[in-house]
Amino acid sequence: MAENLVPKGLDGVAVDVTSIATTDNSGNLLYRGYRAIDLADRKSFEEVAHLILFGKLPSADESAKFREFLKKNSALGGRIPEIMKIEKQTNLMDSLRSYVSLEPYRNSEAGLLLAEIASKFPQIISSSARINEGKAPLHSIDGSYAENLYYLLTEKNNPRYARFFEKLLILYMEHEFNASTFALRVAASTLTDPVSAIVAAISTLKGPLHGGANSEVLTYLLSFKSEEEALKFVEEKLQRKEKIMGFGHRVYKEKDPRAQFVKIELKKLIGNTDVYRYATAIEEYIWEKKKLPANLDFYAALYLKTLGIDEKFYLPIFACSRVFGWGAHYLEQQADNKIIRPLSVYTGPTGLTLE
């Protein structure tokens, strides 16, 4: 069979080198050499975004400057708010994809332009959602990236919840050659501009097998009235050979360290409540029956719900963070570029002749 000659989904294939992130032998996700969970626990979003994008943890002064840069550039320019009123898009990922293309950017140096693009994600998502609901856009607050994003999504200024939120944002930031990043690297390898490459990544993140799993997890987790009901649901799904959202991962075959970190944080927020127990029971059951680990999206969904964030924002939130990883990959690809153009094994007809 010709199909057996190709590594479907590039499963197990290394396609390039990277110094941005990896998973070490103990299953830890590393950002530029540091454990992502340690960074989430002890660093700010801006510090980690600087580390990912520019390759170095910033000094206090660099960190303040970067934070200021993100704040200063975050407002939407041109006619975007006007266009949002006319062209209402119900899917926020579609809004993000469109408005990232339309924004008039000020910076031309690639690193700064990538940071500028990223800085606008929170306003695009928040304003687009609010305009769709007939509400006026909110002005950003004078807080950190996480505090501001939290405010723009909830209308609440809550530093404690914003800090919990920030930890998840940090864990979403980077994951080497995931599908959206790979799409971006393919685009970057043609020497296209940063905006076009980021649009390719947004489009790829939108798919349910990549970024769209977290809100589906919430739908089933919140539907159960008992642990038995929860386990019956997963058992039936497994029997029907259906995918259960929030489980499985191309890289993590035993444990997703990010999911385990968020699980601990979630317990700090909600304690041993019914829904927390259903979630952990499902995790244990699926591991026992199928040896599939819970991935980050499994616990992230409940975590975001607990923080009072509406489901429609879950995937765009992922994008607000991952955009810094995408930026780093754009720069890395272009620093040592060769166009990504693989081969295929042809299985169609040959030698057909026209009448």
Q: Which residues bind ligand COA (CB under 6 A)?
A: 9, 209, 213, 243-250, 290, 292, 295-297
For the question of residue 249 being annotated catalytic, the response is yes
Q: What is the largest CA-CA distance in the chain?
A: 74
- Please state the closest distance from residue 251 (CB atom) to ligand COA, in A: 8
3-state secondary structure of 345: coil
CA neighbours within 13 Å on the CB side: how many for 78? Answer: 13
- Please state the closest distance from residue 9 (CB atom) to ligand COA, in A: 6
Nearer to ligand COA, 13 or 209 (CB): 209
Nearer to ligand COA, 247 or 314 (CB): 247
- Please state the closest distance from residue 281 (CB atom) to ligand COA, in A: 16
Residues 244 and 234: beta-carbon distance below 8 Å: yes
Say if residue 312 is exposed, middle or buried (CB neighbours under 10 Å; 0-12, 13-18, 19+). middle
Q: What angle do CA 34, 37, 41 make, to 5 degrees?
A: 105
- Please state the closest distance from residue 170 (CB atom) to ligand COA, in A: 16
- Please state the closest distance from residue 13 (CB atom) to ligand COA, in A: 12
- The CA distance from 126 to 139, in Å, is 10
Alpha-carbon Rg for the chain in angstroms: 21
- Please state the closest distance from residue 221 (CB atom) to ligand COA, in A: 13
Nearer to ligand COA, 250 or 267 (CB): 250
3-state secondary structure of 283: helix
For the question of residue 274 being annotated catalytic, the response is no
| Residue closest to ligand COA, measured at CB | 248
Q: Which of 154, 114, 115, 146 is nearest to 44 (CA)?
A: 146
Annotated catalytic residue: which of 50, 175, 256, 297?
297
Nearer to ligand COA, 297 or 332 (CB): 297
Tokens for 157?
Answer: 């200024």
Annotated catalytic residue: which of 50, 249, 256, 329?
249
3-state secondary structure of 29: strand
Q: Which of 222, 180, 219 is nearest to 323 (CA)?
A: 180
- The CA distance from 44 to 28, in Å, is 20
Nearer to ligand COA, 240 or 341 (CB): 240
Say if residue 33 is exposed, middle or buried (CB neighbours under 10 Å; 0-12, 13-18, 19+). exposed
Nearer to ligand COA, 241 or 338 (CB): 241
Residues 123 and 140: beta-carbon distance below 8 Å: yes
Question: Residues with catalytic annotation?
Answer: 249, 297
